[in-house]
Amino acid sequence: MSPQAAGAPLGPQSLLWRYAGDWRSMLPGSSTGLLQLLHPAIGAGVAQHSAFFEDPFARIRRSIPQIWATIFDGDESGRGRAVRDLHRAIKGDDDAGRRYHALEPETFWWAHATFTWNIFRSVELFHLQELSPEAEDQLYAETVTWYRRYGVSERPVPPDYRAFRAKFEYVCAEVLEMNPAAAAAMGYRLADVPGRTFGPSLVRGIVEPVMAPAAEILVRGCLPRTVRRRFGVRWTPADAAQLRGLAAAVRQGFRFVPHALNRRTFIDVHRWIGSRTRDQRFRPVA
């Protein structure tokens, strides 16, 4: 039996609160979503139990405010278990005839693992100060505490950050596979995604010409190299140079953003989105 992962307290002084409550934690988000869709069970669940093909970003708008709130709310809120219970009815057979269930431990862990990866990736690319080995271990331990708030089996959880990285790479190399939901996501140009990606049409007309090219570099560039190679994601030296330039601009630009403003606007916007999407969520299944 593998050793159990050690958790670490969450609170205002924790690394997870610091890095997850920062706008930069959203920048690898599209890559994170793609890593989830490439998982056979998650891809099938999204295709069969949501309106993904009509509005791919609706799932993000519904889910991220809830999931991020499980970091900042204590265990007593029950929010993590409420998120878990939203997944009880997500089950069926995938296109290969394999049974799946969203609460199967390895499947649920992978969804959480991509968010853990997301936090580390955002620090790696978009923060000036690198994490020391000790800080990496602490941040990982805090993500274990985060996972425990869902009340799902801890059997799949790697015991430490080194083991997490090895398992994450294994899943990328051996478990992920192309499926209709992932193929659709990979085939989109961001400006052509169905639904209101950048908000109302007037806002889209102003924002898309600036944001879409950068967002498309981010979704491909933030992906693990193994995933880009396995699934033929185009990535040229020019693309890599654009990502380096974009990351450097973000790192330098955030030097001039007060931490309190960064955190306050991040939390307020997520609360606002959460309040606007509450009636679109699945109802918990008893």
So what's the pLDDT on residue 166?
A: 98
Q: Which of 273, 31, 283, 40 is nearest to 177 (CA)?
A: 40
Q: What is the pTM of this model?
A: 0.89
Burial of 214 (0-12, 13-18, 19+ CB in 10 A): middle
So what's the pLDDT on residue 194?
A: 46
Handedness of CA 211, 214, 217, 222 (dihedral sign): negative
So what's the pLDDT on residue 286?
A: 29
Q: Which parts of the chain sit beneath pLDDT 70?
A: 1-2, 56-57, 59, 188-211, 276-286
So what's the pLDDT on residue 64?
A: 87
SS3 content of the chain, % helix, strand, coil (to 5): 65, 0, 35
Question: How many Cβ atoms sit within 10 Å of the Cβ of residue 21?
Answer: 19
Exposure string over 173-184, b if 16+ CB within 10 A, otherwise e: eeebeebbbbeb
19-71 confidence digits (pLDDT tens): 999 999 999 999 999 999 999 999 999 999 987 777 766 767 778 888 999 99
> Quick check: 21 and 72 in contact, CB under 8 A?
yes
Q: Which residues contact 51 (CB under 8 A, 6 or more apart)?
A: 58
> Quick check: 242 and 217 in contact, CB under 8 A?
yes
So what's the pLDDT on residue 277?
A: 60
Q: Which of 139, 123, 167 is nearest to 2 (CA)?
A: 167
One-letter amino acid of 230: R
So what's the pLDDT on residue 74?
A: 80
